[in-house]
Structure 1
Amino acid sequence: MDLFDDLPEPTQAGAVSAGVTVLPSSAKENDKEEEKSVKRKREDEECPAVLEEEEEENQKVCREGLPVLRGYVAARRGERDEMQDAHVLLPNMSTCVSARPSQVSRVSYFAVFDGHGGSRASRFAAEHLHHTLAKKFPRGETDNLDKLVKKCLVDTFRQTDEDFLKKASSQKPAWKDGSTVTCMLVLDDVVYVANLGDSRAVLCRMEAEGGAAGERRPTTLALSNEHNPTIYEERMRIQRAGGTVRDGRVLGVLEVSRSIGDGQYKRCGVISTPDLRRCQLTCNDRFIILACDGLFKVFSADDAVKFVLDILQEGGADQRLTDQEEQFEAACQQLATEAVRRGCADNVTVILVSVDF
């Protein structure tokens, strides 16, 4: 089975766009002021802000037809004692990548990490994965960019896992944390999603209904593949490695079959090799949702897309929401809040990425 599955090819071309630089950090609490402070700190520490003249130069060389990507995030602790999720938003990751393929003019990165057994694995992955990715990133003239990006992502996940396990095993007592990962790398208008575990990424695409040019209906496209021990291929790998699956869990304990960390389960077939999906964005695409399983315990993918679309439609008629950015921000926050209201006791982290051609 090829890990690198293509999604449907685009049917229409887009228009001119420019990048937006936003960088929230991993959320520790629901307090908004604290979260803003953490965001500013991560922004200072992670990647340097692009100076105005550099941004102008980037726009000059940026290929026409690229979408504007804007990221919004909402994090809720739920009923848990600790916030174990983390997230990173880099709509302009170009400043982190020292060199990139000659045919790529812009790089974006969004990721959500759902920790279990503690928050150390998710925070470690949030802090290090994109830096490792930048170091391994393809550069110069490339004949097969897809193949190189695939290798880069697989190597990055393996390296991040090895680095965390080395640090975890050196602690007294050893850390036993683990984390799922769903990250989205966007090269110009091509999306690559790499995921481990049960966090998900879904794309909302508006498609013509019944051939009528003016009427479109939303279609939800899965950009990730869930990994849990009840899936046949996952269970077989675990059993071949000498592990067992009881009550839908590895050794009756771990709910996911792939993750960063979880050193005590690596000998039982739990791996850090991600599934990869590729999708070219089109002018029919509205947004992408990346979220931990806390959201999808109470929302189906279709329901989450419809919920966001309904708020965007209502926001367009609400004079208090003066622009599209405010509408998307409201949709992201309300989606996370609604997940808690529906009874999800787990941490909930939602990243909403708007796509605007």
Structure 2
Amino acid sequence: MDLFDDLPEPTQTSGPPGSGSASQVEAHAQTTKEENEKEEKSVKRKQQQEEIETEEHGQIKKVCREGLPVLKGYVAARRGERDEMQDAHVLLPDMSSCLSCSSRVSYFAVFDGHGGARASQFAAEHLHHNLAKKFPSGESENMDKLIKKCLLDTFKQTDEDFLKKASSQKPAWKDGSTATCVLVVDDMVYVANLGDSRAVLCRMEVVADGQKRAVTLALSKEHNPTMYEERMRIQRAGGTVREGRVLGVLEVSRSIGDGQYKRCGVISTPDLRRCQLTANDRFIILACDGLFKVFSADEAVKFVLSVLQEGSVEPKPGLTMEELRFESACHQLASEAVRRGCADNVTVILVSVGF
């Protein structure tokens, strides 16, 4: 399965054929047919948008969101044995009101700070606001490319803003942070990440006997100095990698902040991946490396599934049994990471996917 490192454009299904006769269709060249189909799609999109715009506000929501996945986020954070909680997180199941577009947009993010909590807190407070300012407005056939550019520009802007603030302090701040951000536009997931925090998707697949089995899909790529491409970039910039760390100190090769390492090849350019959600998808896990030091991605997914299948949860007002199970699974996963001996901060975001 292509998990979109290069953000390919999704395949579009063509509309219904025209009402012309067979002889007329055969008389047209292939290029003419494609142009007609493109024009027909454009007209239909405009008509559909006009119909939506003439509805009342409540109806607009219904029309725009019909058939889209329902996302709900749950978070659990544990300090572990650290003196300070340096992780930060953001859950925005619906940030559409901040954007000038007809799509439903959700945003979830985990930031794992090092050298202090200021970089992670800054990213948690500012990155999604920068994203909202740069998010493409209206509809476009090149939406994937526009969102890709938006994410790249957003990370660059957030990093530059923090470095400017950090360098103005006396003494200068030396904090840095990883970032793993999940942006869901209608039913399309875009993941942008720096460093070693991760995102994984649980997808249920039907096997030969009709039973379903869980498949774990990686939605992010870790960045550490021991990776060949990362190490080569650092060395070309004049830096060194010793004992698996930049200059023998920094464990990640991409981050927000870390101003003292930017001249050594540490960058804030995220890896971008894209995946379309389906009715077989159950949940997404976003977590800092504190979780994945003691859990493999598959183990984390199986742990969550085992909690979701348990029947006993204590009722709480305002929450359904399904919501209570997801909430419990999120907290149990974070607690189990600490129980298994993780001394680091642990932050877990669990995003349920329902259709």
Residues 264/55 of structure 1: CA separation in 2 closer, same or farther (3 Å cut): farther
Question: In structure 2, how many angstroms separate the alpha carbons of the residues matched to 1:237 and 1:55?
Answer: 51
Aligned to 2:223: 227
**Contact 2:87–2:117 (Cα < 8 Å) also in 1:** yes
The reply on whether 1:79 has 2:81 as its aligned counterpart is yes
Question: In structure 2, how many angstroms separate the alpha carbons of the residues matched to 1:294 and 1:332?
Answer: 14
| Equivalent residues in 2 for 1:13-24, closer than 5 Å | none
CA offsets per residue over residues 128-161 of structure 1, 9 Å max, x none?
Answer: 0000000000012312100000000000000000
Q: Secondary structure at the match of 2:334?
A: helix
Q: 1:301 aligns with which of 290, 294, 297?
A: 297
The reply on whether 1:273 has 2:233 as its aligned counterpart is no
Question: How many corresponding residue pairs?
Answer: 304
Deviation of the 1:7 alpha carbon:
12
Question: In structure 2, how many angstroms separate the alpha carbons of the residues matched to 1:207 and 1:67?
Answer: 18
Q: 1:93 aligns with which of 60, 77, 95?
A: 95
Deviation of the 1:5 alpha carbon:
4.9
Percent of aligned pairs with the same residue?
Answer: 80
Aligned to 1:351: 349
Question: In structure 1, how many angstroms separate the alpha carbons of the residues matched to 2:295 and 2:57?
Answer: 39
**Contact 1:7–1:278 (Cα < 8 Å) also in 2:** no
Question: In structure 1, how many angstroms separate the alpha carbons of the residues matched to 2:346 and 2:256?
Answer: 19
The reply on whether 1:238 has 2:240 as its aligned counterpart is no
Question: In structure 1, how many angstroms separate the alpha carbons of the residues matched to 2:175 and 2:73?
Answer: 28
Q: Give TM-score scaled by structure 2 length.
A: 0.83
| Equivalent residues in 2 for 1:1-16, closer than 5 Å | 3-5=5-7
Question: In structure 1, how many angstroms separate the alpha carbons of the residues matched to 2:262 and 2:131?
Answer: 22
Deviation of the 1:58 alpha carbon:
4.9
Q: 2:314 aligns with which of 314, 317, 320?
A: 320
Deviation of the 1:3 alpha carbon:
4.6
List alignment gaps of at least 5 residues for structure 2.
12-55
Q: Give TM-score scaled by structure 1 length.
A: 0.82
Task: Please give the root-mean-square deviation of Cα atoms over the aligned residues, in Å.
Answer: 1.8
**Contact 2:220–2:273 (Cα < 8 Å) also in 1:** yes
The reply on whether 1:254 has 2:254 as its aligned counterpart is no
Residues 107/58 of structure 1: CA separation in 2 closer, same or farther (3 Å cut): farther
Question: In structure 2, how many angstroms separate the alpha carbons of the residues matched to 1:220 and 1:324?
Answer: 21
**Contact 1:293–1:348 (Cα < 8 Å) also in 2:** yes
Q: 1:285 aligns with which of 275, 278, 281?
A: 281
Question: In structure 1, how many angstroms separate the alpha carbons of the residues matched to 2:325 and 2:115?
Answer: 35
| Equivalent residues in 2 for 1:159-238, closer than 5 Å | 159-210=157-208, 212-213=209-210, 215-238=211-234
Q: 1:56 aligns with which of 55, 58, 62?
A: 58
Aligned to 2:24: none
Question: In structure 2, how many angstroms separate the alpha carbons of the residues matched to 1:158 and 1:289?
Answer: 25
**Contact 1:183–1:193 (Cα < 8 Å) also in 2:** yes
- One-letter code aligned to 2:119: A
Residues 176/7 of structure 1: CA separation in 2 closer, same or farther (3 Å cut): farther
Q: Which moved more, 1:57-66 or 1:136-145?
A: 57-66
The reply on whether 1:109 has 2:103 as its aligned counterpart is no
CA offsets per residue over residues 161-188 of structure 1, 9 Å max, x none?
Answer: 0000000000000000000000000000
- One-letter code aligned to 1:93: M
Q: Secondary structure at the match of 2:96?
A: coil
List alignment gaps of at least 5 residues for structure 1.
10-53
- One-letter code aligned to 2:74: Y
Aligned to 2:328: 330
Q: Secondary structure at the match of 1:95?
A: helix
Q: Secondary structure at the match of 2:61?
A: helix
Residues 319/249 of structure 1: CA separation in 2 closer, same or farther (3 Å cut): closer
Aligned to 1:33: none
Question: In structure 1, how many angstroms separate the alpha carbons of the residues matched to 2:166 and 2:340?
Answer: 35
The reply on whether 1:153 has 2:151 as its aligned counterpart is yes
Question: In structure 2, how many angstroms separate the alpha carbons of the residues matched to 1:122 and 1:8?
Answer: 33
Residues 55/261 of structure 1: CA separation in 2 closer, same or farther (3 Å cut): farther
Question: In structure 2, how many angstroms separate the alpha carbons of the residues matched to 1:335 and 1:235?
Answer: 33
Deviation of the 1:56 alpha carbon:
3.2
The reply on whether 1:125 has 2:116 as its aligned counterpart is no
Q: Secondary structure at the match of 1:219?
A: strand
Deviation of the 1:318 alpha carbon:
1.7
**Contact 2:199–2:219 (Cα < 8 Å) also in 1:** yes
- One-letter code aligned to 2:200: V
Deviation of the 1:96 alpha carbon:
1.8
Residues 319/248 of structure 1: CA separation in 2 closer, same or farther (3 Å cut): closer
Deviation of the 1:64 alpha carbon:
2.0
Question: In structure 2, how many angstroms separate the alpha carbons of the residues matched to 1:7 and 1:313?
Answer: 36
**Contact 2:73–2:93 (Cα < 8 Å) also in 1:** yes
Residues 113/239 of structure 1: CA separation in 2 closer, same or farther (3 Å cut): same
